[in-house]
Chain A
Amino acid sequence: MAAWDLSVTVEDLGPDAPPIVISVTSDLHIGRVILDVVQKTQLQRDWSDHALWWEQKQQWLLRTAWTLEKCGIHADAKLVLTPQHKPLQLGLPNGVTVRLCACFSRAVFHTVVEICKVLNIRHPEELSLLRPVEVKKKKKDKDHVQNIYDLTDVSLTSDSIPCLYNGMPVHFTDSPKAEDIYKMLSMCQPSPSPEALAKMYRPASIVDKTHIHTRWLDSSRTLMQQGVQQDDTLWLRFKYNTFYDLEPKYDAVRLTQLYEQARWAILLEDIDCTEEEMMLFGALQYHISKLAQSESQNRVSGIEDLDCALQSLELKLEGDKSGTTDMIENMTAPELNDYLKIFRPKRLTLKGYKQYWFKFKDTSISYYKNQEERFGEPIQQLNLKGSDVSPDVNVAGQKFCIKLLIPAPEGMNELYLRCEDEQQYSQWMAACRLGSKGLTLADSSFQREKKSIQSFLSMQRSNSGDQSAQTSENINTFSLLSPRYQKKYKAKQLTPRILDSYQNVARLSMTEAILKFLQIWQALPDFGISYFMVRFKGSRKDEVLGIANNRLIRIDLGVGDVVKTWRYSNMRQWNVNWDIRQVAIEFDGNINMAFGCVTADCKIVHEYIGGYIFMSTRGRDRSDTLNEELFHKLTGGHEVL
Chain B
Amino acid sequence: MDDIDAMFSDLLGEMDLLTQSLGVEDVRPPSPKKEVNLSVGFTDLNESLLELEDNDLDALMADLMADLDATEKLAAEKKAAAKDPHPTLENLHLPSPDHASVPAPPLPPAHRASSAENEEQAKADKIKLALEKLKEAKVKKLVVKVEMTNGSSKTLMVDERQTVRDVLDNLFEKTHCDCNVDWCLYETNPELQTERGFEDHENLVEPLSAWTRDSENKVLFREQEDKYAVFKNPQNFYLWKKDKKALKDMKDKDKELLLEENFCGSSIIVPDLEGALYLKEDGKKSWKQRYFLLRASGIYYVPKGKTKTSRDLVSLVNFDNVNVYYAKEYKAKYKAPTDFCFILKHPQIQKESQYIKYLCCDDHRAMTLWVTGIRVAKYGIALYENYKTAVKRSSASSSWTDRINSTQSTPSPTPKAKAANGHPLPPPPLMDVLPPPPPDPVMPPPPPLPNKGGLPPPPPPSSVTKNRGGALPPAPVEDFPPPPPLDDGELPPDFMPPPPPAAGVGFYLHGGEALPPPPPDPVGLPLAPPPPGPPPPPPPPPPVGAPAPRPVLPAKREGPAPPKRTTPGLSAPSGGDFMSELMVAMQKKRVQQ
- Given the known A-B contacts A382-B33, A525-B272, are A276 and B315 also in contact in the complex, defined by CB atoms under 8 Å? yes
Q: Is B355 an interface residue, CB under 8 A from the partner?
A: yes
Q: Is A71 an interface residue, CB under 8 A from the partner?
A: no
Q: Is A411 an interface residue, CB under 8 A from the partner?
A: yes
Q: Is B362 an interface residue, CB under 8 A from the partner?
A: no
> Which segment, of A283-291, A320-328, A456-464, faces chain B?
A320-328
- Given the known A-B contacts A322-B124, A386-B346, A410-B351, are A364 and B34 also in contact in the complex, defined by CB atoms under 8 Å? yes
Interface pair B296/A331, CB less than 8 Å apart: no
Shortest distance from the beta carbon of B34 to any chain A beta carbon, whole Å = 6
Interface pair A409/B310, CB less than 8 Å apart: no
> Which segment, of A186-194, A392-400, A514-522, A626-634, faces chain B?
A514-522
Q: Is A242 an interface residue, CB under 8 A from the partner?
A: yes
Shortest distance from the beta carbon of A569 to any chain B beta carbon, whole Å = 5
Q: Is A479 an interface residue, CB under 8 A from the partner?
A: no
Contact of A276 among B268, B272, B318 (CB under 8 A): B318
Interface pair B267/A519, CB less than 8 Å apart: yes
Interface pair B266/A522, CB less than 8 Å apart: yes
Contact of B131 among A280, A331, A380, A409 (CB under 8 A): A331
The bracket for how many chain B residues form the interface is 35 or more
Chain B residues within 8 Å of A275, by CB: 311, 313, 315
Chain B residues within 8 Å of A524, by CB: 295-296, 310
Chain A residues within 8 Å of B587, by CB: 332
Whole-angstrom CA separation of A243 from B269 in the bound complex: 14
Shortest distance from the beta carbon of A345 to any chain B beta carbon, whole Å = 13
Residue on A nearest B262 in the bound complex, by CB: A550
- Given the known A-B contacts A324-B128, A569-B254, are A523 and B269 also in contact in the complex, defined by CB atoms under 8 Å? yes
Chain B residues within 8 Å of A412, by CB: 346, 349, 353, 355
Contact of B321 among A380, A388, A410 (CB under 8 A): A388
Chain B residues within 8 Å of A521, by CB: 267
Q: Is B305 an interface residue, CB under 8 A from the partner?
A: no
- Given the known A-B contacts A331-B131, A412-B353, A522-B265, are A324 and B124 also in contact in the complex, defined by CB atoms under 8 Å? yes
Interface pair B266/A519, CB less than 8 Å apart: yes
Q: Is B35 an interface residue, CB under 8 A from the partner?
A: yes
Contact of B297 among A274, A332, A522, A565 (CB under 8 A): A274
Whole-angstrom CA separation of A274 from B318 in the bound complex: 12
Interface pair B318/A411, CB less than 8 Å apart: no
Whole-angstrom CA separation of A570 from B235 in the bound complex: 13
Interface pair B265/A411, CB less than 8 Å apart: no
Q: Is A84 an interface residue, CB under 8 A from the partner?
A: no
- Given the known A-B contacts A328-B586, A380-B33, A518-B267, are A276 and B298 also in contact in the complex, defined by CB atoms under 8 Å? yes
Interface pair A409/B32, CB less than 8 Å apart: yes
How many A-B contacts at CB < 8 Å in the complex?
128
Whole-angstrom CA separation of A332 from B587 in the bound complex: 8
Shortest distance from the beta carbon of B185 to any chain A beta carbon, whole Å = 20
Whole-angstrom CA separation of A408 from B254 in the bound complex: 45
Q: Which of B543-561 contact A (CB under 8 A)?
A: none
Q: Which of B289-319 contact A (CB under 8 A)?
A: 295-298, 300, 307, 309-311, 313, 315, 318
Residue among A519, A523, A570 having the largest count of chain B Cβ atoms under 10 Å: A523
Q: Is B210 an interface residue, CB under 8 A from the partner?
A: yes
Chain B residues within 8 Å of A601, by CB: none
Interface pair A410/B266, CB less than 8 Å apart: no
Interface pair A327/B128, CB less than 8 Å apart: yes
Q: Which of A506-553 contact B (CB under 8 A)?
A: 515, 518-526, 549-550
Q: Is A484 an interface residue, CB under 8 A from the partner?
A: yes
- Given the known A-B contacts A274-B300, A388-B321, A522-B266, are A408 and B349 also in contact in the complex, defined by CB atoms under 8 Å? yes
Whole-angstrom CA separation of A549 from B262 in the bound complex: 12
Whole-angstrom CA separation of A273 from B309 in the bound complex: 9
Shortest distance from the beta carbon of A123 to any chain B beta carbon, whole Å = 12
Residue on B nearest A242 in the bound complex, by CB: B265
Residue on B nearest A322 in the bound complex, by CB: B124
Interface pair A332/B586, CB less than 8 Å apart: yes
Q: Is B320 an interface residue, CB under 8 A from the partner?
A: yes
Q: Is A371 an interface residue, CB under 8 A from the partner?
A: no
Q: Is A407 an interface residue, CB under 8 A from the partner?
A: yes
Q: Which of B562-593 contact A (CB under 8 A)?
A: 579, 583, 586-587
Q: Is B96 an interface residue, CB under 8 A from the partner?
A: no
Whole-angstrom CA separation of A382 from B318 in the bound complex: 24
A542-568 vs B, CB cutoff 8 Å, 1 = contact: the mask equals 000000011000000000100001000
Q: Is A573 an interface residue, CB under 8 A from the partner?
A: no
Chain B residues within 8 Å of A11, by CB: none
Residue on A nearest B258 in the bound complex, by CB: A569
Residue on A nearest B300 in the bound complex, by CB: A274
- Given the known A-B contacts A274-B297, A274-B300, are A327 and B131 also in contact in the complex, defined by CB atoms under 8 Å? yes
- Given the known A-B contacts A243-B266, A364-B34, A519-B267, are A407 and B297 also in contact in the complex, defined by CB atoms under 8 Å? no
Chain B residues within 8 Å of A272, by CB: 309-311
Chain A residues within 8 Å of B241, by CB: 565
Interface pair A383/B267, CB less than 8 Å apart: no
A409-434 vs B, CB cutoff 8 Å, 1 = contact: the mask equals 11110000000000000000000000
Whole-angstrom CA separation of A242 from B266 in the bound complex: 9
Interface pair A411/B311, CB less than 8 Å apart: no
Chain A residues within 8 Å of B349, by CB: 407-412
Residue on B nearest A409 in the bound complex, by CB: B350
Interface pair B297/A386, CB less than 8 Å apart: no
Interface pair A273/B310, CB less than 8 Å apart: yes
Whole-angstrom CA separation of A409 from B315 in the bound complex: 24
Chain B residues within 8 Å of A520, by CB: 267, 296-297
- Given the known A-B contacts A322-B124, A381-B33, are A277 and B348 also in contact in the complex, defined by CB atoms under 8 Å? no
Interface pair B267/A550, CB less than 8 Å apart: no
Whole-angstrom CA separation of A383 from B354 in the bound complex: 21
Residue on A nearest B120 in the bound complex, by CB: A322
Q: Is B212 an interface residue, CB under 8 A from the partner?
A: yes
Interface pair B35/A276, CB less than 8 Å apart: no
Shortest distance from the beta carbon of A250 to any chain B beta carbon, whole Å = 15
Whole-angstrom CA separation of A275 from B298 in the bound complex: 11
Q: Is A317 an interface residue, CB under 8 A from the partner?
A: no
Chain A residues within 8 Å of B353, by CB: 410-412
Chain A residues within 8 Å of B297, by CB: 274, 276-277, 280, 520, 523
Whole-angstrom CA separation of A381 from B25 in the bound complex: 14
Chain A residues within 8 Å of B321, by CB: 386, 388, 407
B223-261 vs A, CB cutoff 8 Å, 1 = contact: the mask equals 000000000000000000100000000000010010001
Chain A residues within 8 Å of B313, by CB: 274-275
Shortest distance from the beta carbon of A317 to any chain B beta carbon, whole Å = 15
Q: Is B270 an interface residue, CB under 8 A from the partner?
A: yes
Q: Is A504 an interface residue, CB under 8 A from the partner?
A: yes
Interface pair B35/A381, CB less than 8 Å apart: yes
10 closest Cβ pairs, A-B complex: A411-B353, A407-B348, A522-B267, A272-B310, A523-B296, A409-B350, A324-B124, A519-B267, A407-B346, A408-B32
Sample of 19 further A-B pairs with CB below 8 A, known A275-B311, A408-B32, A523-B269: A243-B266, A273-B310, A276-B315, A276-B318, A280-B297, A328-B586, A381-B33, A382-B33, A383-B33, A386-B346, A386-B347, A406-B32, A409-B350, A411-B349, A411-B354, A518-B267, A522-B265, A523-B296, A523-B297
Residues of A near any B CB (own CB < 8 A): 242-243, 246, 272-277, 280, 322, 324, 327-328, 331-332, 364, 380-383, 386, 388, 405-412, 484-485, 504, 515, 518-526, 549-550, 560, 565, 569-570
Q: Please name 13 pairs of A and B residues whose Cβ atoms are closer than 8 Å in the assembled complex, sorted by A.
A: A272-B311, A327-B127, A327-B131, A381-B33, A388-B321, A407-B321, A407-B346, A408-B31, A410-B350, A410-B351, A411-B355, A412-B346, A550-B261
Residues of B near any A CB (own CB < 8 A): 31-35, 124, 127-128, 131, 210, 212, 241, 254, 257, 261, 265-270, 272, 295-298, 300, 307, 309-311, 313, 315, 318, 320-321, 346-351, 353-356, 579, 583, 586-587
